[in-house]
């Protein structure tokens, strides 16, 4: 379930409502935020299926006046390295000027009868800041079908640091709305940062 808002207390309450190790998640996020004022946040819990196991995962996104903070918490079953189940929490703090892209992909049913303001069926929020890039390469070719020369490679590089998918069917319409609200706040904050540079 996604939750969004603008206060430290609201963020804490949203983490607690997610029910996913709230003390652990809140401590990690609050330590990363420090004393900064929160502009917006999004809490998204996701359940995934990995072979025979069900795994839960929570992502917390926080926007302050100067930074974008992302926190991931995953649970792991007992394995050869740990006789008991455990959770891993990580936080990353990114200065707003480093945000290079905020991509919002919307899936809309019956686009021919779309009415402005209608919620999309699904939203994918992709945020790039240069920590992770994906490179897709393929052999280059020319238009001559008889050419056997080596033309090197062609390809593309895509920033893909974070991708979050929220759907109306799986997460509910409020989660979709809140994801769009956070995406807009982040887009506006990065635009404002770019304008002041």
Tell me what pLDDT residue 82 has.
83
d(CA 163, CA 128): 9
- Return the closest-CA partner of residue 192 out of 117, 125, 128, 102: 102
- Asked if residue 162 has pLDDT above 80, the reply is yes
The yes-or-no verdict on residue 26 having pLDDT over 70 is yes
Task: Look at residue 3 and tell me whether its pLDDT is greater than 70.
Answer: no
Q: What is the mean pLDDT of residues 127-136?
A: 73
Percent with pLDDT over 90 in the chain: 54
Query: Which pLDDT does position 197 carry in this prediction?
Result: 58
* Sheet of 162-167, strands arranged across: 101-107, 122-128, 162-167
The alpha-carbon radius of gyration of the chain (Å, integer) is: 20
Contact 98, 130 (CB under 8 A): yes
Phi, psi of 78 (to 5 degrees): -60, 140
Task: Give the pLDDT of residue 90.
Answer: 94
What's the confidence (pLDDT) of residue 1? 40
Q: What is the pLDDT of residues 57-89, one digit of tens each?
A: 899 999 999 999 999 998 887 788 888 988 899
**Residue 90 CB burial class (10 angstroms; 0-12, 13-18, ≥19):** exposed
Q: Which one is predicted more confidently, 51 or 171?
A: 171
Q: Which of 48, 23, 8 is nearest to 165 (CA)?
A: 48
- Global model pTM greater than 0.85: no
> What's the mean pLDDT in 142-166?
78
Mean pLDDT of 139-157: 78
User: Looking at per-residue confidence, does 193 or 42 come out higher?
Assistant: 42
* Residue in the block written with tokens 């590089």: 157
Alpha-carbon span 103 to 42, nearest angstrom: 16
Q: pLDDT value at position 160?
A: 58
Local structure of 92: helix, strand or coil: strand
The pLDDT of residue 127 is above 70? yes
Per-residue pLDDT reduced to its tens digit, 180-197: 999 999 999 999 876 665
């Amino acid at each position: 379930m996604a939750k969004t808002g603008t206060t430290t207390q609201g963020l804490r309450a949203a983490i607690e409502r997610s029910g996913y190790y709230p003390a652990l998640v809140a401590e990690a996020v609050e330590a990363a935020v420090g004393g900064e004022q929160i502009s917006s946040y999004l809490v998204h819990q996701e359940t995934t299926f990995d072979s025979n196991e069900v795994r839960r995962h929570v992502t917390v996104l926080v926007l302050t006046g100067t930074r974008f903070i992302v926190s991931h918490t995953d649970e792991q079953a007992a394995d050869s390295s740990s006789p008991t189940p455990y959770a891993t929490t990580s936080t990353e703090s990114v200065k707003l000027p480093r945000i290079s892209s905020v991509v919002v992909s919307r899936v809309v049913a019956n686009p021919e009868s779309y009415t402005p303001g209608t919620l999309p069926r699904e939203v994918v929020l992709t945020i790039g800041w240069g920590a992770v890039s994906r490179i897709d390469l393929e052999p280059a070719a020319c238009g001559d079908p008889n050419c056997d020369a080596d033309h090197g490679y062609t390809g593309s590089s895509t920033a893909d640091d974070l991708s979050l998918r929220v759907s109306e069917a799986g997460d509910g319409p409020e989660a979709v709305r809140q994801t769009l609200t956070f995406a807009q706040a982040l887009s506006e904050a990065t635009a404002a940062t770019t304008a002041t540079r």
